[in-house]
Amino acid sequence: MNDTFASYPSAGTSVSFQTGQGGLPMLAVWTPASVAHIYLHGAQVTHFQRRGEQPLLFVSAQSQFAEGKAIRGGIPVILPWFGAREGKPSHGFARLHAWQLSEIRTLPGDQVRLVLRLPECPEAAEWPQFEAQCAVTVGDRLAMELSVSNTDPARTLDLQTCLHTYFAVGGITQVEVRGLKDVGYLDALENLAPKTQTEDPMRFAEEVDRLYVNTPHAVEITDHAWHRVIRVEKEQSLSTVVWNPWIAKSQRMPDFSDDEYLRMICVESGNMSPNALTVAPGAQATLRVRLSTRPA
């Protein structure tokens, strides 16, 4: 395994601006326990790796890194809507623009917290005025907080948010997902037909695209190939999506290699569809996710 920590001092933290893929500005964050990469583009975390472990996040080798295009992997920040909309970009417009870095702070325990703010976007003109910020905390684990404030004087903000995380795994056929037993979901492969989860653990042998609803619970991904359990904890989120494109959909995605479905699983946390939010003027919606790992 390529250990990127080989040349890094084992004390203190560091943040540096670097030129990332596609020439996009990227923040490299180093702590004694981990390294992370955060693109201003979409405020997107594309890399997090604990010392001595495999990377936590997956990014497609075919991903685009360009203004106006979504990065295929890491943790896409989805707002103000989730999913497809006629004549509009899938999963909203926030991930298509460069966010502005507004704060870097060190926290106890050799952690670093970075705050990025969504800039003015032309697509937001037709929406109630709102502000969005994303706080990323890097340490022994990775945490993200997405806050959206309705700053409109009068209009209510109908909002869907999601942290659409792509996790790296050693082999999808050796992955199990737990935490969704008996939870209701909408099956995107059957026109959002409502169903209830029976499998526990959930295993993967075909395309899966499920929006679980009314579930505030943590989910765990057991990766038997890499002998690791990834724990996905969340706050103020009632929707969880589990997605693997499998073969046919992988072949249809130009920014995704045909065999990359073998090395990733999306477990996404947000508030979508029946759990969409109605944010009154002056109110704020905050979604938090904490990602940690332990040996399996």
Residues of this chain that bind ligand TA6 (CB under 6 A): 70, 83, 90-91, 164, 188, 209, 241, 243, 266, 268
Residue closer to ligand TA6 (CB basis): 223 or 268: 268
- Distance from C-alpha of 228 to C-alpha of 170, rounded to nearest angstrom: 9
Residue closer to ligand TA6 (CB basis): 77 or 132: 77
Would you say 56 and 168 are in contact if contact means Cβ atoms under 8 Å apart?
yes
- The nearest distance, CB 231 to ligand TA6, in angstroms, is 20
Structure tokens at 161: 């948010």
- Distance from C-alpha of 181 to C-alpha of 237, rounded to nearest angstrom: 17
Residue closer to ligand TA6 (CB basis): 138 or 266: 266
- The nearest distance, CB 256 to ligand TA6, in angstroms, is 8
Residue closer to ligand TA6 (CB basis): 83 or 281: 83
Three-state SS for 173? helix
Which of these is catalytic: 37, 91, 97, 164? 164
Which of these is catalytic: 145, 220, 260, 268? 268
Residue 263, φ and ψ in degrees, nearest 5: -120, 20
- Distance from C-alpha of 167 to C-alpha of 78, rounded to nearest angstrom: 16
- Residue 46 has a CB neighbour count (10 Å cut-off) of 27
- The nearest distance, CB 60 to ligand TA6, in angstroms, is 10
- The nearest distance, CB 234 to ligand TA6, in angstroms, is 15
Residue nearest to ligand TA6 (CB): 90
Annotated catalytic residue 268: yes
Half-sphere exposure (Cβ direction) of 134: Cα atoms closer than 13 Å: 31
Active site residues: 164, 268
